[in-house]
Chains A and B, each alone.
Chain A
Amino acid sequence: DAMVIQNPRYQVTQFGKPVTLSCSQTLNHNVMYWYQQKSSQAPKLLFHYYDKDFNNEADTPDNFQSRRPNTSFCFLDIRSPGLGDAAMYLCATSRDRNQPQHFGDGTRLSIL
């Protein structure tokens, strides 16, 4: 059974049109992460939540925002997607920051 679920698996949006990606978990983990992964590259951490505490990476563009309304759900909002934002977006969870991460299958975002 999937423990980290991302919806949708594929998302197409228009240049500049806001888009929201969602992630849910059944593991009751404290930490939730959002990564951006472009073709043939390693995942790049955008930000993470430790419980309700939001931690943004220094080089994450302001265009990217996140919400975590409860333990189970976390959202990635891209306010004005550009062509360079086309990528796979991965959600992951871990019990604590120093614990292994469990990944969802990702949402592949395309920008028209």
Chain B
Amino acid sequence: TQLLEQSPQFLSIQEGENLTVYCNSSSVFSSLQWYRQEPGEGPVLLVTVVTGGEVKKLKRLTFQFGDARKDSSLHITAAQPGDTGLYLCAGLFSGNTPLVFGKGTRLSVIA
């Protein structure tokens, strides 16, 4: 069974602080995706990373894919209340198996 571990599970921070959430697996990903889900809505794709060591930026969000393609991180700079939500990593492993989701990190940014 291929598992994704996300940490931390919950995170509550003040507006303006920085934070990092992590996604780890013992297996190699062929690609990995990060989604954000706001209450009452479906997950929205933020980014897909494919190449080991890849770094992608989306405004204040920085996504990094580990060199060995077994882990990823999401760093948010100067968090804002609008960043509040459930952050899900989802990995594709080999073959045609569907995405495997992590359990998510629930972020709360307090003004």
Interface residues in chain A, defined as those with a beta carbon under 8 Å from any beta carbon in chain B: 4, 6, 31, 33, 40-43, 45, 48, 50, 90, 92, 97-98, 100-106, 108
Contacts and interface: CB of A to CB of B under 8 A. Distances in A.
A96 B102 CA distance: 21
A106 B103 contact: no
Interface of B: 30-31, 33, 35, 40-45, 48, 88, 90, 92, 96-99, 101-104, 106
Contact of B42 (A45, A48, A97, A106): A106
28 contacts: A6-B42, A31-B98, A42-B88, A42-B102, A43-B43, A43-B101, A45-B98, A48-B98, A50-B96, A90-B42, A90-B43, A97-B97, A97-B98, A98-B92, A100-B45, A100-B48, A101-B33, A101-B99, A103-B35, A103-B43, A103-B44, A104-B42, A105-B40, A105-B41, A105-B42, A106-B40, A106-B41, A108-B40
Given A100-B45, A104-B42, A42 B98 contact: no
Contacts of B106: 40
